[in-house]
Amino acid sequence: MQSMIEGPRAAKIEELPQIVKLTSWIFGFEKHGVYLDKVFPHVFCEKNIENLRVIVSDGRVVSHLGIWEGWLNFYGFWLKVGLIG
């Protein structure tokens, strides 16, 4: 039986829990009871869903890339910054 693979594509809101679980497990946070939506709430949220890219196999998220853009005040200077991970 051949797998049905989708992506890379923008994540769907209903996939957000799978993304958080996958990334927390990959980076070793889950074993300590920590989930990345608590560490990076600005990345792993519905407001940023279009910047979360996924590959899905048979309805399961198997790969993820997160992108976030924002502003950082650095010693009184506002800088446009980004995060890719």
The 10s digit of each residue's pLDDT in 7-48 is: 999 999 999 999 999 999 999 999 999 999 999 999 999 999
Range of the domain at 31: 5-84
According to the model, what pLDDT value does residue 3 have? Answer: 80
pTM: 0.86
Between 2 and 34, the more confident residue is: 34
Which of 63, 68, 72 is CA-nearest to residue 83? Answer: 68
Domain count, the chain: 1
Cα-Cα-Cα-Cα dihedral sign, residues 9, 67, 16, 50: negative
Asked whether the predicted pLDDT for residue 1 surpasses 80, the reply is: no
Q: How far apart are CA 83 and CA 85, in angstroms?
A: 7
